[in-house]
Every structure is written in C-alpha cells, then in structure tokens.
C-alpha cells in the first residue's frame, strides 16, 4: 500500500501490531515451557493471555476506520520471535543462563511493541481518533508494565545465576 497520509501510516502500524500480537500468542507458550523459573514462566504465560486481549483491542479500531486488517509482515518482530523459538529449543544451556536469555529476548519483543503502540497512539490522537488512542494507550501501558516486570525478574534471577556460578 502506498504511504501518502498519516492515516496510511497509522493503518500500516496497526497491521504490523496485529500481525505481531498474533505471532506472540503462538510463540509465548513455547518460550514459557522453556523457562526454568516458575516466576518467569508465569509472567510469560500472562503475556500470552495479554496478547489475545491486545488483539481484541485492535480489531474494533479497524472497524472504526471501516477497514479490514491486511496481511502484514512484521519483519522485525518475526526475527525476534525466531530468536524465541531458538531459545526454546536450547536444551543444553544451563537453566539460569537460558532464563537470562529468555528474559532478554522477551524484553526485545516488548520494546518492539512499545515503540509500535507509542507511535500508533500518537498518530491516532493527532487524527482525532480519541477512542482508538485510549485503547492503544491501554495496551501501551500493559507492555510497559510487562517490560518493568521482566526487569525486576532479571535483577533477581541474573544475580542468582551469577552467585550459583561462583
């Protein structure tokens, strides 16, 4: 689709967010199963449920714009999720190290969607789509909270991993 207007840009971002959230719902269960820490596993499982809610918030925005989502390729997200699958298959890595790597890749995923929701929310607001901007803000807040939670988990687990190795 040619990008001419801010609305075109918003639609492209929404398509990418929707594709990314749908991929996340498929990949997170595999990542959760690969986690050693129960706390990390619970957190990742909650992000999988949250992604489904976020898909549910995006659908009405397309309806409000009288558009159907297009099949977008969220290329950056695709690479990140391939990293997730590689990690999930790493049976030989030491458990704490694998958890540290899982947290890192999950945070990369979160930062990608934080950027996407942040841009989409700003553009929707500028275009006068205030209900859509509010919904995008809610998902943005969820993603930021998830990122902060992963940082807290990393602080505890990474310390435990380093102490175990000494």
- Residues of span 129-158 touching Fe ion by CB under 5 A: none
Q: Give the tokens for residue 128.
A: 């006068």
Task: Name the DSSP letter for residue 89.
Answer: T
Number of residues binding to Fe ion, judged by CB under 5 A: 2
Segment near Fe ion (CB under 5 A), from 52-60, 102-110, 127-135, 154-162? 52-60
Q: Which stretch binds Fe ion (CB under 5 A): 29-37, 44-52, 79-87, 104-112?
A: 44-52
CA proximity to 22, closest of 63, 71, 67, 60: 71
Residue 20 Cβ vs Fe ion, minimum distance, rounded to whole Å? 8
> Of the candidates 17, 44, 51, 103, which one interacts with Fe ion according to CB under 5 A?
51
In the DSSP assignment, the letter for residue 36 is S
Greatest pairwise CA separation for the chain in angstroms? 59
Q: How far apart are CA 143 and CA 72, in angstroms?
A: 21
Check residue 54 for interaction with Fe ion (CB under 5 A). yes
Binding site for Fe ion (CB under 5 A): 51, 54
């Amino acid at each position: 689709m040619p990008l001419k207007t801010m609305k075109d840009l918003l639609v492209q971002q929404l398509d990418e967010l929707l594709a990314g959230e749908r991929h996340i719902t498929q990949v997170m269960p595999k990542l959760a199963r690969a986690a050693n820490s129960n706390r990390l596993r619970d957190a990742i499982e909650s992000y999988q449920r949250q992604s489904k809610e976020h898909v549910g918030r995006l659908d009405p925005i397309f309806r409000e714009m009288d558009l159907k989502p297009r099949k977008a390729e969220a290329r950056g997200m695709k690479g990140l999720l391939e990293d997730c699958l590689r990690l999930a298959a790493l049976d030989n890595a030491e458990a704490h190290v694998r958890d540290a790597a899982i947290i890192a890749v999950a945070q990369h995923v979160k930062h990608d969607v934080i950027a996407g929701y942040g841009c989409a929310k700003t553009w929707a607001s500028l275009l006068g789509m205030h209900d859509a901007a509010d919904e995008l803000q809610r998902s943005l807040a969820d993603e930021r909270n998830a990122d902060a939670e992963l940082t807290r988990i990393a602080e505890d687990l990474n310390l435990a991993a380093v102490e175990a190795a000494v």
